[in-house]
Amino acid sequence: MNFKRKKFHGRKKHDDDSDKPLEFSSKKRPPILKIFTDKRKVVRDPRFEETSGTFNPTIFEQKYGNIIKEAKDKDKNELLSELKREKDPERITQIKYLLKRISEKEHAEEHSKNKLQLVKKLKEEKRKQLKLASKGPVFLKKSEIKQAQLVEKFKELKQSQKLSKYIEKKRKRNVARERNKMFSDNYDDDD
C-alpha cells in the first residue's frame, strides 16, 4: 500500500465553503503583506499652513487694504447702477439689502479702525508717562479703553450737535431696562 501524503507548501487551501477563512501552513512563513500607500496628491492651502506664519490684520490691511477697498467700491457702484436700471421689485429689494449690508460692514470696519487708533494713542500716552516715571511695560485695561471710546464718542456727538438726542435715547433705554428687570425677576405679591 502506497499512502501518499498530500503536500501543502504554504499555499492557501480552499474549501468549497467560501465563508471559512483561508488556511495557511504553520510550517512556512506567510508572505509579507505589501503596504499600499495612497498615491493621490494631498491638496494643501498655503494660507492655512503653520509654516506661513500667523495672521496679522494690521499688516494685511497695510498690504492689501487699498486693493480690497477699490474692489468693494467697484461692487457697490455696480449695484447702485443696477438698482437704477432694475424694474423687477424682488431684485430691487435684494439689491437694497446687499447695499445695506455693504454700508453696515463699512461702518463696522471704520469703527474697529477707530478703536485700534484709540488704543494705539492711549498706549503711546501711557508709555510717555511711564518713561518719565521709569516703570515697566504698558498693559491697558478694558475699562480704560472703553472710557476713552466713550470720551471720543461724546466729542463727536458734541461736534455734530447730536449729544442731547443721544443722551435722551440712552435715558429712555435705561428706564425701559429697569422696568423690565422689576417685572421679570420672580416678582410675587403673595409673599
pLDDT tens per residue, range 89-99: 999 999 999 99
Q: Where in the chain are the domains?
A: 56-143
- Cβ atoms of 165 and 150 within 8 Å: the answer is no
Q: How far apart are CA 49 and CA 137, in angstroms?
A: 32
* Sign of the C-alpha dihedral computed for residues 122, 127, 132 and 136 taken in this order: positive
pTM of the model: 0.50
Where is pLDDT greater, at 85 or 37? 85
**Percentage of the chain lying above the pLDDT 90 cut:** 27
pLDDT for res 165: 87
The one-letter amino acid code at 44 reads R
Mean pLDDT of 104-129: 89
Each residue's pLDDT tens digit, 127-186: 888 777 776 666 778 888 888 888 888 888 888 888 888 888 989 999 999 888 888 765
pLDDT for res 93: 94
Which of 65-69, 76-80, 141-145 comes out lowest in average pLDDT? 141-145
pLDDT for res 190: 47
The model's confidence at residue 20, banded by pLDDT at 50, 70 and 90, is confident
Q: Give Cβ neighbours of residue 25 (< 8 Å, ≥ 6 apart).
A: 8, 9, 10, 11
* Sign of the C-alpha dihedral computed for residues 184, 189, 190 and 191 taken in this order: positive
Q: What is the mean pLDDT of the chain?
A: 82
The model's confidence at residue 3, banded by pLDDT at 50, 70 and 90, is low
* Number of residues in the chain: 191
Q: How far apart are CA 174 and CA 157, in angstroms?
A: 19
Predicted confidence (pLDDT) at residue 37 exceeds the cutoff of 50: yes
